[in-house]
Amino acid sequence: MSLRCPRLLPPLLLCLAVPALAAERPAAREQDRAALRLLLENVLERTPMGQARTGLLVQSLEDGAEVFSHRADDLFNPASNVKLFTAAAALHLLGPAHRFETAFLSGAPLKNGRAGVLYVRGRGDPTLTTERLHGVASELFHAGLREVGDITCDDTWFEQDGRPPGFDQEDGDRTYLSPPGALSLNANAVNVYLRGGEVPGRPATVEVEPPAALFEVSAEVRTAPPGVRRLNVLAEPARDAVRLLVRGEAPPGEVVSLSRKVDLPALYTGHAFRRVLEARGIKVKGRVRLGAVPAGAKLLHAAESEPLDAVLRRLNKHSSNFVAEMLLRALSAAAGEQPGTTAGGVRQVEAFLEQEVGLRRGTYVLRNGSGLNDANRFSPRQVLAMLRWVHGRFSTLPEFLASLPVAGRDGTLRSRMEGTAAAGNVRAKTGTLSHVSALAGYLVTAGGEPLAFSFVVNDYEGRAGPVVGALDALCAAVAALGRPGGEGPAREVAGQLRPPAPPLEDAALQERLRIWWGLGRQGAASLPLLRSALRAEEDPAVRVAVADALARQAPDAGRRAVLESLEPSEQVYGRLRRAAAAAGLPVPGLLPLVDAAASGEAAAVERLLQLLSATPAPERLPFSGWLAELAGAAPEALLAQLHPLSPAERRPALEGLAEGLRGKAIPAALASLLERTAAGKDPTRAALAAEVRQRLVGPLSDRAATSPSP
């Protein structure tokens, strides 16, 4: 199919082109495009994109003309836009109907309903869930299985290294870091629920879903006063277990939950399946272990995943790193490389890009399938080449297009570009990392012309919100092209890039804080309102209050919003401190930030130290307790953020830490870390460890240096 033929568009895009395509005079079209170019140049100058590294390319899928281009051949970190390449390669190499199989086998024919060993063999299904395991258990029960000795989990289809390139650039237990594995369950994540009791101060209940013997739970939780919600969960892998350290408080009768990654996927699946079998009435007398299925094993049941087109919707609409890395290893295994590896999957994608799309190896950098961290580099023109290739092949276009988020409708674009010409007419993949924002996909203009585009911004300063708003303004302007009257793009840009409103007066800010504090205590029913307000609120101090309320309903999402909005400036933090004190409320955002820092999130620890320095000395007392909490929960992250500071910059933190630990022994984790670091080869870190130790207790011999681990 010729991309330059204006009358041979694939039927799916024809359906999306509303109003229907109509003949248009080339001169008038070029005039509109020229006006749009001037407008988009103006957007670049007026937004943070102008001071950052920005690459933009918009191209017509009718005549192939470049509608707009800016540094389109430079290489950028595309973040999760890499998932577009993973999806296209998977569709081409595996086919949209491909399904992943998980097999359940017995080492010998069932005898009196008993299997001495039940083997569970994974083939890279990224969609296996506890709910599906219940269906498998029923199938096995009806096949006559009543008793099992051992459960042996076979994950040899993929390599055993669970951390793809890029994942190793950060530590943590967040679910976006969940490792791939040939035998995986629930996207290798576990949910931890904290339920408040009836009386504040009394113990609260901790539950793990799915329940499995793999998890060793250590909990210090209590019932909080109404409206107070704090939950911190640390997941630490051990040899054959995952330790879940749960700390926090929940209001009476309410439930707070968080998800954490599981670093032992196959054992996780086996232990969860054991509980499912027992619940169905099938006894399991042995243990759960790892091992390969022997030759001659008897197949009892084969569970198939959803077809690949449904898997791709999980990949792109929700930007699942887990699905992306599973697909990459599956491509390697499907090509005959057993075990399937990340490197092998990269080779398969590179071969696809060279042979089908025309992108030569070495002109880009591809290290993983998800786009996580500083691992990949592509130019906007290379992204467009792949999008045009997909668009020209009906065998892949419908499934690929259906996997992309729709602006203002669903997925990661559900709350973006609402009320603009782009809403419902843009299908695109987002990309977000620290100081990286990207957006790439397809749109149909108001004049009915289908376009492909790639926008990427690297190395911008400040928070992501203004950059995301600028990208949305670009999309809205391009989508309005061809609207009758000719003023569509300009009107869209004006609506998306309003000048900032003046900050609220003190009394109005106090009232807003009271409103959002109250709404944050109303339970999950207020979630839609909170999410909308976070986008619409113009005063940066009030955005922090909204993010704080959101953190009490959706902890992970709220903490991310707090980290972006709670700036240590007078305009934000200074105004918040004074307004909260006048309103008789806690300073919004601080407790969610402490929870994120206690989980080891480096950016949260860094921000907490910045806020401490921006706090007048008489108001620093709460920070002392928080720093003492970090010393036990996340000492590595605390020490790492202290390291680059000058002695004068780290003094408030060390004084606060010493105050928080006054009369207490140094937490065992911090004491051990200080001892290792002081004896290490890095002289600057060794000096820092000595400074911290001296500030806290003097020489270690002067005082007991450890306390029992919780």
CB within 8 Å of 337: residues ≥ 6 apart: 344
CB within 8 Å of 269: residues ≥ 6 apart: 120, 122, 128, 153, 183, 184, 185
Strand partners, 349: none
What is the Rg, in whole angstroms, of the alpha carbon atoms belonging to the chain?
27
How many CB atoms are closer than 10 A to CB 459? 12
| Angstrom distances, CA of residue 128 to CA of 131, 306, 506, 548 | 8, 9, 52, 34
Strand (E) positions, 183-225? 189-195, 205-209, 215-223
The amino acid at 162: G
* Cβ atoms of residues 227 and 280 within 8 Å: no
Q: Which three-class secondary structure string do you get for 3-30?
A: CCCCCCCCHHHHHHCCCCCCCCCHHHHH
**Could you tell me the end-to-end alpha-carbon distance of the chain, in angstroms, rounded to an integer?**
65
Q: How many CA atoms lie within 13 A of 411 on its CB side?
A: 24
Q: Look up residue 445 and give its two tokens.
A: 């203009």
Active site residues: 80, 83, 319
Q: What are phi and psi of 546, to 5 degrees?
A: -65, -45
One DSSP character per residue, 249-289 reads EE-TT-EEEEEEE-S-HHHHHHHHHHHHHHHTT-EE-S-EE
CA 430 to chain centre: 12
One DSSP character per residue, 610-677 reads HHHHTS-GGG-HHHHHHHHHHHHH-HHHHHHHHTTS-HHHHHHHHHHHHHHTTTSPPPHHHHHHHHHH
3-state secondary structure of 1: coil
Q: Look up residue 217 and give its two tokens.
A: 């739970």
Q: How many CA atoms lie within 13 A of 349 on its CB side?
A: 30
